[in-house]
A and B are shown apart, each in its own frame.
Chain A
Amino acid sequence: MSNANELTIAAARDKLRAGDLSAVDLTMACLTAMDAGDTLGAFVHKTPEIALEQARAADARLQAGGAPDLCGIPLGIKDLFCTKGVPSQAASNILAGFKPEYESTVTAKLFDAGAVMLGKLNMDEFAMGSSNESSCYGPVVNPWRSDDRELSPGGSSGGSAAAVAGDLCLAATGTDTGGSIRQPAAFCGIVGIKPTYGRVSRWGIIAYASSLDQAGPMTKSVRDAAILLGAMAGHDPKDSTSADLPVPDFEAALTGDIRGKKIGIPREYRVAGMRPEIQKIWDKGAEMLRDAGAEIVEVSLPHTKYALPAYYVIAPAEASSNLARYDGVRYGHRAKLAAGDGITEMYEKTRAEGFGAEVQRRVMIGTYVLSAGFYDAYYNRARKVRALIKRDFEQAFAAGVDAILTPATPTPAFGLGEMSSADPVEMYLNDVFTVTLNLAGLPGVSVPVGLDADGLPLGLQLIGRPWEEGELLNHAYVLERAAGFVAKPQKWW
């Protein structure tokens, strides 16, 4: 199969098991597509030798029988995941040359399940951004386009979204702190789920904001998301916040039956100035779920408006602490010192050279809100507001709502560079519909539902109860089937 790179995980799994396709051939098809896709800027460190070695091992395992779902499936791995012996630098110059001596729990689990790593994927530096323009490798270009402009794939998991949408790999890992899986998934017309906080181990994933970070799959279908999430999830003694709960069979949860379920439409998400096309697709999504037998009810999440300001206190605060470790001593970049420079100059020059503008901004904001005299006014107040945001959701679920439907993003993909002159706060508004879930620890999935007038994908977000990713994915599956979204970007690269 010359176009095997276009397969879903589920379809490839069946072909591999039936012996209609070998893992080596599938991997070769992806490596070819990956090399042909260099203009997209999605892959930043390619690992073809590792991929082929893993593919050969997968073929042996497949022949022996009883191989796991992911055996022989070629994936892209976000640069935020530490992969042993392979550059892992969170798209930052401060980690230039860093090759971990250990494997993140997620990638270790994927490799144990027989998955194949094609390479590392581009992202916003330290996952701070919504356009993939803050990367030290340069931006990623969205495979979708409506005219001759180059569009952003979203961020921070922009490389993951572009690689999956452009069929450079079958699926990819992403991470989501404020919307970094769901927003790029929506911009690129793919599926992305952020699981419940604690479902997936964070060990070996370069930390941004530890109380919000969560890894998840970015895939071509809801079924693939269920398969890949099942392989990534699970308790890990090395992450004290990972939940000691059994991982259900998420794929088995995809029954397609949501009759009698109650879907909440939060009135506070009808933000002022919402684009008519977003409103339209949102209404259409609700109609699809109603037609499938669900009941649509209006719900209220009164503190929604305060989610972004709370996030932009909490995330930078945690980032300023997490990123304190980049000091030029143990790994990565160290600045060249002038005669007479001491250790303080080493820290200050190293961090000024190594961190990009957005990362510096967030570290300094975090430093400020945690500094003496401001801690209560900003950080503690934000944590109180966060508790209220979580309570909003708890009350909605307690009232019998099974899932909540919202738009995934306030706009379709915007052009690269179009936001560069804007105030940083303008860029932050991209996460307005997604950030609430990170603050509340809830699972959320972005599903492509249609195209706008210019032919760009639009996504909707479904929000689920904690630990109910199976049921959430089933709702997403119904939406996916009803929407019948089959559009693909026209190959121009």
Chain B
Amino acid sequence: MSIDVETARRVAKLARIQVDEHDLPALAGELSNILGFMEQLNEVDVTGVEPMTSVTPMRLKRRADVVTDGNIQELVLKNAPDAREGFFAVPKVVE
């Protein structure tokens, strides 16, 4: 599977990573190489094999659906690049 420049542009967009137009051909080449490496997986007969969902066979624990912490708004916002009036601030989303 070879990745063309258009696909590389689309993947970068999906990943929300800005890639300059002139870097796209190199990126496409790198991604193609890595995917080529993965093609080996097609040699394996996986008929009847279930995809692994958990590496250790154990049931996830359950707990009561209750609040275990809270009232730490200040701590939650402390590392934000832009926090105002108790909120995370971002560029305008709605016109």
A360 CB within 8 Å of chain B: yes
In A345-401, the 8 Å CB interface with B consists of: 345-349, 351-352, 355, 360-361, 363-365, 367-369, 371, 378, 380-388, 390
- B60:A305 contact, CB within 8 angstroms: no
The CA of A369 and the CA of B3, in the complex, are separated in Å by 12
Partner of A368, one of B11, B17, B55: B11
Asked if A424 CB lies within 8 Å of chain B CBs, one says yes
Please measure, in the bound complex, the distance between the C-alpha atom of A361 and the C-alpha atom of B35, giving whole angstroms.
12
A-B CB proximity, top 9 nearest: A383-B51, A441-B55, A331-B79, A334-B81, A352-B18, A348-B18, A384-B46, A101-B75, A347-B16
Tell which of A46-54, A121-129, A168-176, A236-244 binds the partner: A236-244
Contacts of A424 in B (CB 8 A): 30, 33-34
Interface residues of A in 181-209 (CB under 8 A from B): 196-198
If A331-B79, A424-B34 touch, whether A337 touches B44 (CB-CB below 8 Å) is no
Given A101-B78, A237-B61, A361-B31 contact (CB < 8 Å)? yes
- Which of A241, A342, A363, A384 interacts with B50 by CB under 8 Å? A384
A211 interface neighbour in B3, B14, B55, Cβ under 8 Å: B55
| Contact in complex: B46, A388 (CB < 8 Å) | yes
Residue A332 lies at the interface, judged by CB distance under 8 Å to chain B: yes
B38 engages A313 (CB within 8 Å): yes
Q: A237-B63, A345-B91, A371-B14 are in contact. List 19 more A-B contacts (CB 8 A).
A: A98-B79, A197-B56, A305-B40, A306-B44, A312-B38, A331-B79, A334-B81, A342-B91, A345-B18, A346-B90, A351-B15, A364-B8, A368-B3, A380-B51, A382-B41, A384-B46, A384-B49, A388-B49, A423-B33
* Of the residues B39, B44, B53, contact of A388 by C-beta under 8 Å: B44
**Any chain B CB within 8 A of the CB of A285?**
no
CB of A343 closer than 8 Å to a CB of B: yes
Interface residues of A (CB under 8 A from B): 97-101, 196-198, 211, 237, 240-241, 243-244, 303, 305-306, 308-310, 312-313, 320, 324, 327-334, 337, 341-349, 351-352, 355, 360-361, 363-365, 367-369, 371, 378, 380-388, 390, 423-425, 428, 439-441, 466
In the assembled complex, the Cα of A441 lies from the Cα of B61 at a distance in Å of 19
Residue of B nearest to A333 (CB): B81
Which residues in A have their C-beta under 8 angstroms from that of B46? 381, 384-385, 388
Closest to B39 in A: A309
- Do the beta carbons of A310 and B11 come within 8 Å of each other? no
Q: What total of chain B residues lie within 8 Å of the partner, measured CB to CB?
A: 52
Q: How far is the CB of A39 from chain B (nearest CB, A)?
A: 31
Nearest-neighbor residue (CB-CB) of A101 within chain B? B75
Give B1-39 as 1s and 0s: 1 = Cβ < 8 Å from A's Cβ atoms: 001000110011111111100000001001101110111
- Are B90 and A351 in contact, with the CB atoms below 8 A? no
Decide if B55 touches A390 in the complex (CB within 8 Å): yes
From the candidates B13, B40, B92, name the one contacting A342 in the complex (CB within 8 A): B92
Bound: A345/B92 CA distance, A: 11
Taking CB atoms, residues of chain A closer than 8 Å to B55 are: 197, 211, 386, 390, 439-441
Docked-complex contact B14 and A367, CB < 8 angstroms:
yes
B41 lies within 8 A of A306 (CB): yes
Q: Which of B50, B54, B93 contacts A343 (CB 8 A)?
A: B93
B91:A341 contact, CB within 8 angstroms:
yes
**A385, B16: Cβ atoms closer than 8 Å:** no
B56 touches A368 (CB 8 A): no
- The distance in angstroms between the C-alpha atoms of A439 and B41, with both chains bound, is 15
Q: Which residues of B contact A211 (CB under 8 A)?
A: 54-55
Assess the B16–A329 pair: CB atoms within 8 A.
no
A and B contact pairs by CB, cutoff 8 A, 15 listed: A101-B75, A306-B40, A329-B81, A332-B81, A337-B91, A342-B91, A343-B93, A352-B17, A361-B30, A365-B31, A368-B31, A383-B52, A388-B44, A388-B49, A423-B33
